[in-house]
Structure 1
């Protein structure tokens, strides 16, 4: 008998990053202890080995702490059989009593395509309900609608290579330096190596804007006017590609006439947009004179009450110049989530059917026959905001939420949480044991597979399908989402149609539907992949669609020679409406609240929040405010501010930004009621939506600001758990080797309030200066720092940045005395917050390199590695260099 030992050094497993829509390939090497080493995949065509700060820290997020590992009903552990029976029973009863309009499922761009496909098939084909929507509605549905209006289909025309070969890159409402950093570095290389120009259109001075050759700091909501003015300029300057327009499009004259109404001249455009006329002239001239131009847009365009018109105003300019579907040219939607595109392919939005089909009679018939569906939905369902308003009204009575946290992420999140508590039947599939949505009253909780355990496919922003492969065993009783859906379908009497044994079988069915009765009239066709056997599916390499059966698979662009997916094959210019005025400010709410992401966190932090590195850069919920608005409100930099809207309020750390646009506020979306006492920004956002796409306007909620003052503030660190102090402002933050808590209060904070269960043998060293309101204490066990509490009238930033990295380490007597008496580390010991999260380089290390003579980012990178991976920290490094030069000039 031959006995073969397990390979002690197995090859790393190629999979795909679970964050943004860039779709970076990663290599995972399991450590056989439940973790893995994660590096970029040098062979993946999306990233060629690069990873951003979030991707680089994936290995820190794989612990089972906080995981939901077993099915539960009413908080009690049950078997899968019992849980699945209960899920099916609740939906059956609701259908029989109230009909298909009373049931819904809310999905996520974090799901794999196979999960999405199964959910859509069950609800739209077998339960008769099109109330199937996704959190992708919140980030890119306006782009989908704009594509469909212009192209007849939800088609991304170009590829990532266009971003490298363009001579002009226009970023509209996109902070790609932070939100798509790996792809952004590919574009910066074009700037550095070929002299490509970058224009940024954004009310904020973002990290992307800091790299731009031209920054148009337009007033929020005026993109339609800007691109209408550009269309007028292109026509007046003779830059229209008349041959392309005549041969391949319709509606140009009407679109141009409307653009002349909206923005008849450069001066009018500048006036509406609130930008200097010279800057408008510079942008218009650059666009007119640069053939190889790509316009990239993201949430700043999509998340608007007129987001679809913004998208079409951009597309109009590319159609008019014939700059579409050719190398280095085209409009390009930067997708927010890893599989928002895959969800679009299978009908993940309430107004779609699978395989890029809509709710026309022909498509309903076609999908119904392919599925042999007994109860096809025949009209679009409710979009996300409408869906949860229907829950609040009692019209939707049974809901399944899968892989997302609507009680934190939707507009008016507080009202959403309240509505969820009224459901008759509320099911949540999650991989975390606790979040705001679960806390809102989920009766049935199903443990889902997480990244690293999932098996399936995702599609990135350039239509490239990649495999997510498991490299960790399923923990506890966690199961794939497609499996849970299939099991419920069987219990509802549809077992034959959902009899998949493997995820590859789900994918093959999805691919076959894409090619079913598709003679080229539909853009989405991956029929060449429908015959993959299990081995081929497992080995599937990244492939861009379309991948039609019998045709060579190549990198594909669309529409250079027409061929639009409209009835007549012509693209459509859209006569966009005049820009919708943002919700009218008032004396009560004179400012506008803009929301978005930050560099090192993702969504509601259920994954990134586990990483100490990612929590070191911006550890607290914060509010960006202009210096002018801060002075008017009495808000000081580093203090606290309460931002309020008609829907709620949040108290945040204030970041006064001198070059921010007056009247504009910005707050990040990541903190929830689980991670902060007063940082849930979704609760403040109004529910205004684009009338076509249903995408919420998350960029211009009327707001006001007032200072928030606390007598004391500080932090607690512990190798064990920490309690939240009652009545205080607080935020949790991941730290190495333990737990971190930042707080502020008017009351007293005692050791027992936040640090429970001290060992009787622990040594407690304390310092108190009650007259000055200072209190410091540290707990040692065998000379090793176990916990500490620092309280004072001002921010305890120096001690926090030093001690968060020393927990679990011995401190000598000198260090302990310096901390407790002076409230800071000994000279030179505190390196400050991390600037480069990829390589763990702190601010103090970079300052040391500058002091030693490094006078440019490349020199700092050579000395410290900072900025040499994803590059998202480079704008901050450049600011540090600039500040040093200013200080040197002043001292000279």
Structure 2
């Protein structure tokens, strides 16, 4: 008699940290006994107290091995680790010997763990002897770093998340908190509900975050420094200057000389903002990429900091400026000197005493003596041959850098390129000579630091797949082969962390704000048990807020104001009349190498789009769901049109996430010029000037398949589904035979069911096997109108020829376009609930349907649907709109 098969036994939950934004949410990852994980928020983690956004909730859905890089590759062929590491060490050593240390570079990532970052920084700056190591964090928060250093004498974030819950007024500047930092948005929304916190949103675009705003200031793009100079002048006029920072008189003079007209705001709106800020003793000004991603981003940061320095509203409960970062470990990278103009532990590479101290600690044979190349300049140096060997770690610059096409060509032309990544096929890995398989989230051990300076552990909860290795280990193995095995002889990430903590003690004695030397002697057991903590942690220094007592890290000990003369963007000209804003969507992340693996994260917004004001759309002859061609001297993109008054005339918006694998014509950074802030080197990613015109497609298509779809047409964007794949398509010229196009798309040889109406330009193909739908293609002269949710639900399910109708029968529910990704609640389901169940509040919708009750990111959309229902009441018979694009 066979013994019964035991059910898988789940292992204990592993306390770890989320892989996405800089909020740094704690996660409980529980192995499910079948190779996967069950993910939940950690109720004891002080960043999120159990909350998670939809991306964090879906992390377990992104852990499959599809597309993973599982073994080293040289020239596209699998190789052993020894072969790959020997070649990397040899080529870097030879290049340095022939051309000097500055002929090589590392481009790293805010998604590396601190231990990985530390190893890379040590190798480049202390042993290779160059500071040519920069990071994709340069693209998101370098202007904050520069502004902090000018004002505080250090790159210090003074406040804590709890300040959002203690403030009387929270001002959000250039931050779509609801979509980009959803858990902080939830904490702020709860504070509004509980204690009446007032919220101001300053953003040219009306974003989801405006849902909780008492005041929205749709200022002219680029005029943020003007507004905060007006605030500083008002602070002085009202007698609210309570501190005596350096350069106060100069900063006030610049503020008084600033004219309000450049903001494009009505005087009454400016007055409301000034009164609210000045009359609220506890004010938090929280800012993000809308401030940083500018060619005057550092000045904008300092214009904000000036107001807090002058009033003393800094470092106190509920008061202070607050920079929130976009990546899980952007702060950790700053702490170890991951930027090319910094040393480890917030020391200054331009200071000989700091260089000497770090060099002595590392026993470095050749310390870098000057700042290295910042990101844009680094890839220019790759382009012109000054950089001859390049190592890219955990990032995708061929998509995410400004002038992305130019950057891709530069990488392709470099003598020797190494890429460490978890994925085998990205726009960047395709250009590499050597690929090194790295571990990803849930597979590696280390630490990350969130936006409030809280260091948390990321813990391994599953085995590394294939031959993947931790990044710190790969770096140490290359360093050993270059002759520095003793200095990189760590056997665990705990040893790397302990060394970093020990070095921070050296930095602390030199006056650095960053000092975690309490952990210099940490053991493996102590590291395993390490609880989240705020830095600094050293003798006599114990976390908390900075600067509340008025002491700063400047030589005088006083804060330092900066006289800001606002620099406004040059007006868009007649040839390129639109100024393009860029940013993120709710459910995707960076270039989608992780979120693109989750079907539900792809359902909210499944293709690249262009938000266009109705007046602009009418003038251009563009309608909802048309395709628009967007172009400038840097490049060209084709995007789906979304007509909306959320954007101002002349200022369209497009998301950053699509790549050569998911939507090649939607690679938006091909349009972004390489203009940078002169102080921080951060690119101006939100101010490309472009021309827009209709893309004259002869046909549009929508396809689903249980197998990967292989488009070859002018426009396509694809996404994963629970049972397969989908693609939006469009092209010029008519294919000779639609059956041939179907075979090319789906790789199927069977004859399809075919419905064709040449007069109307309608073609519909369906491939069935044993009565189950394997693939379908819907073609029309105009953007295809059908129930996508119905077709997707039918894929790999029993069906007949009625699938070609593209809509459910009268007796079948059609949930409509996805609104709540957490619980897969569609628009039609919500509208039906409003109409038939009289669900008149967001809370009522949540109780009845679940929508909005987990991460809360869809609540602004729920409120919009409620508002629409109030202005145009819906009756049950009308609840059949398709979820057409």
TM-score of the pair, normalised by structure 2: 0.96
Q: Is the 8 A contact 1:723 1:753 kept in 2?
A: no
1:841 maps to which of 825, 829, 836: 825
1:481 aligns with 2:477: no
Q: How far off its partner does 1:474 sit?
A: 0.8
Q: How far off its partner does 1:830 sit?
A: 2.1
Q: How far off its partner does 1:744 sit?
A: 1.0
Q: Is the 8 A contact 2:159 2:320 kept in 1?
A: yes
In 2, Cα distance between equivalents of 1:732 and 1:757? 12
Q: Is the 8 A contact 1:736 1:807 kept in 2?
A: no
In 2, Cα distance between equivalents of 1:487 and 1:781? 51
In 1, Cα distance between equivalents of 2:268 and 2:749? 71
Aligned-partner SS, 1:367: helix
Deviations 1:162-182 (A, max 9, x none): 011111010000000100011
Equivalent residue, structure 1, for 2:643: 656
For structure 2, the 5+ residue unaligned runs are: 1-5, 877-885
Deviations 1:864-890 (A, max 9, x none): 111112211111111111111111399
Equivalent residue, structure 2, for 1:859: 844
Aligned-partner SS, 1:493: helix
Q: Is the 8 A contact 1:34 1:62 kept in 2?
A: no
2:778 maps to which of 777, 790, 799: 790
Equivalent residue, structure 1, for 2:544: 556
Q: How far off its partner does 1:806 sit?
A: 2.5
Equivalent residue, structure 2, for 1:250: 246
1:728 aligns with 2:714: yes
Aligned-partner SS, 1:566: coil
Q: How far off its partner does 1:356 sit?
A: 0.6
Aligned-partner SS, 1:148: helix
Q: Is the 8 A contact 1:583 1:701 kept in 2?
A: no
Equivalent residue, structure 1, for 2:502: 512
Q: Is the 8 A contact 2:288 2:325 kept in 1?
A: yes
1:678 maps to which of 665, 669, 672: 665
Q: Is the 8 A contact 1:355 1:513 kept in 2?
A: yes
Equivalent residue, structure 1, for 2:129: 128
Q: Is the 8 A contact 2:707 2:746 kept in 1?
A: no
Equivalent residue, structure 2, for 1:138: 139
Equivalent residue, structure 2, for 1:463: 453
Q: How far off its partner does 1:520 sit?
A: 7.2
Q: Is the 8 A contact 1:512 1:527 kept in 2?
A: yes
In 2, Cα distance between equivalents of 1:688 and 1:44? 40
In 1, Cα distance between equivalents of 2:724 and 2:388? 42
In 1, Cα distance between equivalents of 2:34 and 2:845? 36
In 2, Cα distance between equivalents of 1:459 and 1:692? 25
Q: Is the 8 A contact 2:815 2:829 kept in 1?
A: yes
1:805 aligns with 2:793: yes
Equivalent residue, structure 1, for 2:880: none
Q: How far off its partner does 1:6 sit?
A: 12
Q: How far off its partner does 1:650 sit?
A: 0.5
Q: How far off its partner does 1:693 sit?
A: 0.2
Equivalent residue, structure 2, for 1:872: 857
1:99–1:777 distance in 2 versus 1, CA, 3 Å: same
Equivalent residue, structure 2, for 1:881: 866
Q: Is the 8 A contact 1:763 1:781 kept in 2?
A: no
Deviations 1:416-455 (A, max 9, x none): 000111211110001100111122x210000010111111
1:738–1:514 distance in 2 versus 1, CA, 3 Å: same
Q: Is the 8 A contact 1:70 1:78 kept in 2?
A: yes
Q: How far off its partner does 1:767 sit?
A: 1.7
Equivalent residue, structure 1, for 2:16: 15
Equivalent residue, structure 2, for 1:569: 557
In 2, Cα distance between equivalents of 1:720 and 1:587? 46
1:538 aligns with 2:528: yes
Q: Is the 8 A contact 1:583 1:702 kept in 2?
A: no
1:669–1:781 distance in 2 versus 1, CA, 3 Å: same
Q: How far off its partner does 1:51 sit?
A: 0.7
1:744–1:166 distance in 2 versus 1, CA, 3 Å: same
Equivalent residue, structure 2, for 1:608: 595
Structure 1 window deviating more from structure 2 (497-506 vs 790-799): it is 790-799
Q: How far off its partner does 1:212 sit?
A: 1.0
Equivalent residue, structure 2, for 1:195: 196
Aligned-partner SS, 2:759: helix
In 2, Cα distance between equivalents of 1:585 and 1:40? 45
1:547–1:607 distance in 2 versus 1, CA, 3 Å: same
Q: Is the 8 A contact 1:14 1:26 kept in 2?
A: yes
Q: Is the 8 A contact 1:723 1:754 kept in 2?
A: no
Q: Is the 8 A contact 2:589 2:595 kept in 1?
A: yes
Deviations 1:255-283 (A, max 9, x none): 1011112x2xxxx31x1100011000000
1:366 maps to which of 354, 357, 361: 357
1:773 aligns with 2:757: no
1:420 aligns with 2:411: yes
Q: How far off its partner does 1:624 sit?
A: 0.7
Q: Is the 8 A contact 1:639 1:709 kept in 2?
A: no
Equivalent residue, structure 1, for 2:882: none
1:493 maps to which of 444, 468, 483: 483
Q: Is the 8 A contact 2:699 2:780 kept in 1?
A: yes
Q: How far off its partner does 1:754 sit?
A: 4.7
Equivalent residue, structure 2, for 1:742: 728
Q: How far off its partner does 1:569 sit?
A: 1.1
2:440 maps to which of 430, 436, 450: 450
1:342 aligns with 2:338: no
In 1, Cα distance between equivalents of 2:167 and 2:780? 53
Matches within 5 A, 1:625-704: 625-704=612-691
1:221 aligns with 2:251: no
Aligned-partner SS, 1:571: coil
Aligned-partner SS, 2:628: strand
In 1, Cα distance between equivalents of 2:205 and 2:120? 38
Aligned-partner SS, 2:159: coil
Q: CA RMSD in A?
A: 1.8
TM-score of the pair, normalised by structure 1: 0.95
Matches within 5 A, 1:90-109: 90-109=91-110
In 2, Cα distance between equivalents of 1:645 and 1:482? 40
Q: How far off its partner does 1:519 sit?
A: 3.0
In 1, Cα distance between equivalents of 2:874 and 2:467? 63
Equivalent residue, structure 2, for 1:588: 575
Equivalent residue, structure 1, for 2:807: 824
Deviations 1:782-827 (A, max 9, x none): 222221111112333533222223322222x4xx42x32x332223
Equivalent residue, structure 1, for 2:267: 277
In 2, Cα distance between equivalents of 1:331 and 1:442? 41
In 2, Cα distance between equivalents of 1:760 and 1:256? 71
Q: Is the 8 A contact 1:627 1:660 kept in 2?
A: no
In 2, Cα distance between equivalents of 1:348 and 1:99? 21
Q: How far off its partner does 1:646 sit?
A: 1.8
Q: How far off its partner does 1:630 sit?
A: 1.2
In 2, Cα distance between equivalents of 1:750 and 1:458? 52
In 2, Cα distance between equivalents of 1:197 and 1:213? 6
1:787–1:384 distance in 2 versus 1, CA, 3 Å: same
Structure 1 window deviating more from structure 2 (324-333 vs 728-737): it is 728-737
In 2, Cα distance between equivalents of 1:690 and 1:739? 41
Aligned-partner SS, 1:516: helix
In 2, Cα distance between equivalents of 1:152 and 1:868? 43
In 1, Cα distance between equivalents of 2:552 and 2:339? 22
In 2, Cα distance between equivalents of 1:146 and 1:216? 23
Structure 1 window deviating more from structure 2 (762-771 vs 302-311): it is 762-771
In 1, Cα distance between equivalents of 2:715 and 2:747? 28
